Amino acid sequence: MRKKGMLVLACLVLVAMSFPVLAQDWTMDVVAWTGDRTASFVRTFGVHAGATDYYDYETFDVPFLAPPSGPYAVFPLLPDDPYYGTIAGLSTDIRGSEESEVIWRLQVLNDFSEGNRLVTWDIGSLPLPEKSAAAYGYMYVGVTSIGGVVTSWTDMSEVDSATFGAVEEVQFRFVAAGAEDSYPPEVSNIEPGDEEYGVALDASIEFDITDDVNGVDLSTLVLNVNGEDVTGYTTLPIVGGYH
């Protein structure tokens, strides 16, 4: 964008303060499928007051020893886990319930078939708050490259499956009911684009601001363009926020 016609866009989102809560112990199963759907694997994850983020030997977690050949599905250990490298991963991955937010990673490995891998779950088995007051929470699913960071999460109560590629993994994210959401709202689809040239001085500025956990409280949004407060301009509600 030309310096003469540069528009400075600033968004300030104030997130209401909240406090972490202890999640009630729970587990749920998912089924991972190979790309050709000829093999499936039931895997279990959840939280427990006595568990940790590492391999809880002979207590909560169930180790998985990779077969000499053929595909398999595992929750990989964290790189700093004392058992990292000694086992292929876990078939049951239980984490501590004192955390208000937990992420599990699931990978289908040694699968040379074509087609996207698939993971399915029963929506009725999700640890939703209505099942036990505020003791449970909300579940989200996302796909990223193996070892990557998910940038877009989907509410698992709205879908019952997800697909992912041969060099990708699926991640499950639990946010305890009443807990603080550590992921800030996301601003996307900005028009005109950043540093775009040839933009008219009277061009409209459009963008989406969304939060896939708590949504966006419009009363906390302050929008300034070149120092002028334009918060009151037209907004349209979209899924998870506003346009």
pTM check: above 0.75 = no
Domain end (from 176, 191, 212): 176
Domain annotation covers residue 103: yes
Strand partners, 134: 132
Handedness of CA 30, 81, 35, 150 (dihedral sign): positive
* Whether residue 123 sits in one domain with residue 41: yes
> HSE (CB half, 13 Å, CA atoms) of 36?
9
Strand partners, 75: 90
Confidence of residue 174 (pLDDT cuts 50, 70, 90): very high
Domain annotation covers residue 133: yes
* Whether residue 228 sits in one domain with residue 162: no
Confidence of residue 194 (pLDDT cuts 50, 70, 90): confident
* Whether residue 33 sits in one domain with residue 77: yes
* Whether residue 221 sits in one domain with residue 107: no
Q: What is the mean pLDDT of residues 81-92?
A: 94
Confidence of residue 135 (pLDDT cuts 50, 70, 90): low
What's the one-letter identity of residue 46?
A: G
What are the angstrom distances between the C-alpha of 150 and each of 95, 111, 171?
A: 19, 22, 8
* Whether residue 222 sits in one domain with residue 126: no
* Whether residue 95 sits in one domain with residue 48: yes
Q: What is the mean pLDDT of residues 194-211?
A: 80
Domain annotation covers residue 218: yes
Phi first, then psi, for residue 152 (nearest 5°) are: -140, 120
Tokens of 148: 């990557």
How much is the mean pLDDT over the chain? Answer: 82
* Whether residue 32 sits in one domain with residue 134: yes
Domain annotation covers residue 78: yes
Q: Quick check: 180 pLDDT over 90? A: no
pLDDT in tens, 17-51: 333 445 578 999 999 999 999 999 999 999 998 99
Q: Which has the higher per-residue pLDDT, 233 or 196?
A: 196
* Whether residue 124 sits in one domain with residue 57: yes
* Whether residue 200 sits in one domain with residue 88: no
Domain annotation covers residue 120: yes
CB-CB contact of 155 with 128 (8 Å): no
Domain annotation covers residue 69: yes
CB-CB contact of 126 with 201 (8 Å): no
162's CB contacts (< 8 A; 6+ apart) are: 118, 119, 141, 143, 154, 170
Domain annotation covers residue 94: yes
CB-CB contact of 171 with 143 (8 Å): yes
46's CB contacts (< 8 A; 6+ apart) are: 25, 26, 27, 28, 94, 95, 127
* Whether residue 158 sits in one domain with residue 189: no
Domain annotation covers residue 21: no
pLDDT in tens, 143-173: 999 999 888 899 999 999 999 999 999 999 9
> What is the number of structural domains in the chain?
2
Q: Quick check: 212 pLDDT over 60? A: no
Confidence of residue 205 (pLDDT cuts 50, 70, 90): confident
3 burial level (CB within 10 Å; 0-12, 13-18, 19+): exposed
- Say what the pLDDT of residue 147 is: 92
170 burial level (CB within 10 Å; 0-12, 13-18, 19+): buried
* Whether residue 228 sits in one domain with residue 169: no
Confidence of residue 136 (pLDDT cuts 50, 70, 90): confident
Give the residue numbers spanning the domain of 233. Answer: 3-16+183-242
Domain end (from 157, 176, 195): 176
Q: Quick check: 1 pLDDT over 60? A: no
Domain end (from 151, 176, 201): 176
* Whether residue 222 sits in one domain with residue 161: no
- Say what the pLDDT of residue 215 is: 64
pLDDT in tens, 44-78: 999 998 999 999 998 999 999 877 789 999 999 99
Give the pairing of strands 186-191 and 206-210. Answer: antiparallel
Q: Which has the higher per-residue pLDDT, 242 or 44?
A: 44
Q: Quick check: 12 pLDDT over 90? A: no
